[in-house]
């Protein structure tokens, strides 16, 4: 099963990219699992019109956090649930905003050195020490920020006939 390329198309918005990737990832899994409910999710980060991906190294993480310091950022988490037998699906994009406080160079370097957030869009983990970098968070589904919007997912699964809880 080939991986799904996370490269954005030319002029693709962060919201559209998150949705497209969540659908592609779920469809990719249905090739291996032709029955059941398949969940695909992906997240993008919009920083002043620029999509920030996973930094992959500490130097880029420091650069990202420096760029994000003092700014409001928008995360888009795409979510897709496919019934692999019928190929019916539900899709949505959940928006979540975070406001970074003004960070010092020392704070950024300390954070990156301790948490090593190199595989996270935006170079921080809100579920860990990254929460200390923020002033506030705004959105309907706080689990979207971690990468899997559980409130939205629960709604989709109920609509697809799964009893939750």
In terms of pTM, does the model score above 0.75? yes
Catalytic residue among 42, 46, 92, 140: 42
Q: Are 90 and 160 in contact (CB under 8 A)?
A: yes
42 counts as catalytic: yes
CATH class of 14-159: alpha beta
Mean pLDDT of successive 10-residue segments in the chain (165 residues)?
80 95 96 94 94 94 97 97 96 97 98 95 91 96 94 96 92
Instruction: For residues 147 and 110, give the distance between their C-alpha atoms in angstroms, rounded to a whole number.
Output: 24
């Amino acid at each position: 099963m080939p991986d799904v390329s996370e490269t954005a198309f030319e002029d693709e918005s962060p919201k559209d990219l998150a949705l497209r990737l969540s659908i592609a990832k779920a469809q990719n899994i249905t090739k291996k699992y032709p029955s059941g409910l398949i969940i695909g999710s992906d997240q993008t980060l919009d920083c002043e019109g620029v999509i920030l991906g996973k930094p992959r190294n500490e130097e880029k993480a420091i650069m990202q956090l420096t760029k994000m310091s003092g700014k409001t950022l928008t995360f888009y988490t795409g979510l897709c649930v496919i019934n692999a037998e019928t190929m019916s699906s539900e899709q949505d994009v959940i928006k979540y905003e975070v406001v970074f406080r003004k960070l010092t160079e020392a704070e950024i370097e300390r954070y990156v050195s301790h948490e090593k957030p190199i595989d996270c869009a935006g170079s921080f983990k809100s579920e860990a020490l990254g929460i200390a970098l923020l002033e506030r968070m705004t959105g309907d589904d706080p689990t979207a920020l971690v990468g899997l919007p559980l409130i939205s997912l629960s709604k989709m699964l109920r609509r697809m006939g799964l009893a939750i809880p």
